[in-house]
Structure 1
Amino acid sequence: MVFEGSSAAISHTGKVRSNNQDSGYSGANLFVVADGMGGHAGGDVASTLAVTRIEPLDQAYTSTDDAQASLQAAATTAAADLVRASKERPELAGLGTTLSAIIMVDDYAVIGHIGDSRIYLYRDDALTQITTDHTFVQRLVDSGRITLEEARYHPRRSVLMRVLSDMDIAPDLDMFVMPTQPGDRWLLCSDGLSGVVDDPPIAKAMALGLAPGRTADILLKQALDGGAPDNVTLVIVDVGGAHPLSSGTGTVVGAASNPADLPVPAPRASLTGWLHPARQAANEPSHFEPDSDYFEEIIEEDRRRARRRRMAWLFALFLAVVALVGAGFLAYNWTQTRYFVGADEDSVVIYRGVQQSLGPISLSTEVHDTNILLADLPSYQRAAVERTINARSLSDATAITERLRASALPAIPEPEFTPDADPTPTPTPTATTEAPTP
């Protein structure tokens, strides 16, 4: 049975790279994206060989098992082609490619995937990433060592752990089958799109319901607006959509669309590399497949980077604490050059500092108790002292207290009072002259 739906494929060199190492295919039942790597020409060759080997699978299948077997066999043959190409042309040593493919069989999607290109499904207003990136940072995410946001900007985010390459004639593809239904919209893309455009804008473009070709143009523009540092390739497939399927052969885009134009560089001395002894140096690829022992070295490098990051944070924290303490010390020293006149419980006092406290720490200390009683001051002066009077210096504060002393009322001693004494005054005896008796 032939798949009923509509699709579109598009590929762009991007704004940085000089050539397109991606390839893509959109046919009647088969949809493929391959992102090549391996130098100026190696990436072109790798993605072209992969798509060329996969393209004959665009046919009707009686079962999903047959489609899976055919896809795995084609990927293995493509890997053998890469090995042969690197032997025949040593300057291409180290070439490889990602591969993400869908074969539609009745109401099912047969999926094969290796590398960091992606397959998304837009269904019921939700975008879901179907494939898992075979990258170093994805392993770090899976192990809980970093977050998805940290993975997006990790310096090793382009290191691939699994890929179709000239180093493995038995590629380990993720193979699985998913049921699909009318209204589903599938997106296959290279990391030139997924590495630049976040999922929400992709979902928004997919939700517009425009034809696959128009939707592909919108997504490509988003990648270009984001800088497009890598090649951008995407294929959009609508299941049972209203958009008619174009007749004729499938659409090939990217490097595979012009295989005769692939550059064939003259043999040249290759730099000896840690990962590939004869790897092409020109136009360094965006990602590569490491040797088996490279993962442990990358893990150790990540640990060293984490330690350096922690040390940097600790040093920054130390500097911040020193700056804070220094600023506090300078501020405290400044407060100790200030004076004010205030009051304690009953008298006028000269203080050094300011009229604030930091929690339990007072920023003022008593310098001199003038022994001027608050009760002896006129009411308006007593109120001013209780509110505190700022002074420019100690001599200024002393002058203020002298003025207060001059205006203080003189002390009036209280009369003595004895509670047991008779309050009735005793009359003073007077001298009398007794008259003589007649």
Structure 2
Amino acid sequence: MATIRAGAATDVGKIRRRNEDSALVGEGVWAVADGMGGHAAGDVASDLAVTALRRLDEVRDRDPFDVRDALTRANDDILAAAVEDPSLGGMGTTVTGLSLVTVEGEERWVVFNIGDSRVYRFVGGDLEQLTVDHVAPEALTQRRGVITRALGTIPGPKPDLWVLPAVPGVRYLICSDGLSLELGDRDIAAVLAEQADPVQAAEELVRRAVVAGGRDNVTVVVVDHVAA
């Protein structure tokens, strides 16, 4: 079983009145969900997404199909909540993260993503974005764009899933776009290199993003796969 150390931090930022981000730091699942800005009850949607993934965290011997199914259930839960309470209609959320899974008896990582929150891998001083932002093509040259895939839609979105080897010595960063909006890869990598403790790394990244502008909610989860 992989030995994991993880930490999380969040801030409402300087502009938003409400924090619509949610985060999960579990035993085998870690995630960030960013409630859709400008939509009704984005905080409810992101919380429902994280709740579905918290149930996934309780599943023993998870496989990639369990991850996919949990994201489908999250979409169903958001739609059902909007039917039950029409005031929640139109809510949605991104969701991205990591899950430890078992594939053919071997432990693996699954990276999952819907939307424009991100998962990065940091190893040997190099920062690599593992996820692909789901934004409109015309928005790719902008710092922000129109999200083309999110939970809370009919039909439900197809999640991106990547299966990776579970190798000790790798640090993963999961974040809402409130971080990448304010800090470039070089600044993010510098913090990850300087702060050995995952909690302190998460807190410092959020602090710097707020200082740099804080135009959106900022949520960060840092996951370290350490040697046993």
TM-score for both structures, normalised by structure 1 = 0.49
Distance in 2, matches of 1:120 and 1:218, equals: 16
CA contact (8 A) 1:53 1:75 kept: yes
Q: Which residue of 1 is the match for residue 64 of structure 2?
A: 68
Q: Percent identity?
A: 41
Q: Which residue of 1 is the match for residue 91 of structure 2?
A: 95
1:161 maps to amino acid: T
The alpha-carbon deviation at position 159 of structure 1 amounts to 0.7
Cα distance, 1:92–1:60 mapped onto 2, change above 3 Å: closer
CA contact (8 A) 1:38 1:92 kept: no
Q: Which residue of 1 is the match for residue 7 of structure 2?
A: 8
Distance in 1, matches of 2:210 and 2:180, equals: 12
- In the TM superposition, what are the counterparts of 1:172-321 in structure 2 within 5 Å? 172-240=158-226
Three-state SS of the structure 1 residue aligned to 2:63 is helix
The alpha-carbon deviation at position 207 of structure 1 amounts to 1.1
1:11 maps to amino acid: T
Residue 109 in 1 paired to residue 109 in 2? yes
1:151 maps to which of 142, 149, 166: 142
Unpaired stretches in structure 2, ≥5 consecutive residues:
none
Distance in 2, matches of 1:80 and 1:107, equals: 29
The alpha-carbon deviation at position 88 of structure 1 amounts to 2.0
Q: Deviations over 1:227-280 (max 9, x none)?
A: 1111111100001158xxxxxxxxxxxxxxxxxxxxxxxxxxxxxxxxxxxxxx
Residue 161 in 1 paired to residue 148 in 2? yes
Q: Deviations over 1:276-303 (max 9, x none)?
A: xxxxxxxxxxxxxxxxxxxxxxxxxxxx
Aligned residues: 224
Cα distance, 1:200–1:44 mapped onto 2, change above 3 Å: same
- In the TM superposition, what are the counterparts of 1:399-410 in structure 2 within 5 Å? none
Distance in 1, matches of 2:189 and 2:227, equals: 17
Q: Which residue of 1 is the match for residue 35 of structure 2?
A: 36
Q: Deviations over 1:147-188 (max 9, x none)?
A: x6x322xxxx331011111x3243200012011321100000
The alpha-carbon deviation at position 87 of structure 1 amounts to 1.7
Q: Which residue of 2 is the match for residue 21 of structure 1?
A: 20
Distance in 1, matches of 2:207 and 2:42, equals: 23
The alpha-carbon deviation at position 67 of structure 1 amounts to 2.3
Q: Which has the higher contact order (CA 8 A, sep 6+)?
A: 2
Distance in 1, matches of 2:190 and 2:8, equals: 19
Distance in 2, matches of 1:111 and 1:168, equals: 23
Residue 120 in 1 paired to residue 120 in 2? yes
CA contact (8 A) 1:114 1:162 kept: yes
CA contact (8 A) 1:35 1:117 kept: yes
Distance in 1, matches of 2:37 and 2:53, equals: 20
Q: Deviations over 1:336-367 (max 9, x none)?
A: xxxxxxxxxxxxxxxxxxxxxxxxxxxxxxxx
The alpha-carbon deviation at position 17 of structure 1 amounts to 0.6
Q: Which residue of 2 is the match for residue 85 of structure 1?
A: 81
Q: Which residue of 2 is the match for residue 48 of structure 1?
A: 47
Q: Which residue of 2 is the match for residue 410 of structure 1?
A: none
CA contact (8 A) 1:49 1:78 kept: yes
Richer in helix (by share): 1
Distance in 1, matches of 2:132 and 2:204, equals: 24
CA contact (8 A) 2:39 2:92 kept: no
Q: Deviations over 1:363-417 (max 9, x none)?
A: xxxxxxxxxxxxxxxxxxxxxxxxxxxxxxxxxxxxxxxxxxxxxxxxxxxxxxx
> Stretches of 4+ moved more than 3 A in 1?
38-41, 59-62
The alpha-carbon deviation at position 27 of structure 1 amounts to 1.5
CA contact (8 A) 1:212 1:237 kept: yes
The alpha-carbon deviation at position 41 of structure 1 amounts to 5.2
CA contact (8 A) 1:13 1:231 kept: yes
Three-state SS of the structure 2 residue aligned to 1:224 is helix
CA contact (8 A) 1:107 1:181 kept: no
The alpha-carbon deviation at position 121 of structure 1 amounts to 0.1
Distance in 2, matches of 1:90 and 1:199, equals: 40
Q: Deviations over 1:45-65 (max 9, x none)?
A: 100111011102224754xxx
Q: Which residue of 2 is the match for residue 394 of structure 1?
A: none
Distance in 2, matches of 1:98 and 1:170, equals: 12
The alpha-carbon deviation at position 131 of structure 1 amounts to 0.2
The alpha-carbon deviation at position 90 of structure 1 amounts to 1.9
2:51 maps to amino acid: T
Distance in 1, matches of 2:173 and 2:18, equals: 23
The alpha-carbon deviation at position 5 of structure 1 amounts to 1.8
Unpaired stretches in structure 1, ≥5 consecutive residues:
142-147, 243-438
Distance in 1, matches of 2:84 and 2:209, equals: 36
Higher deviation after alignment, 203-212 or 189-198:
203-212
1:45 maps to amino acid: V
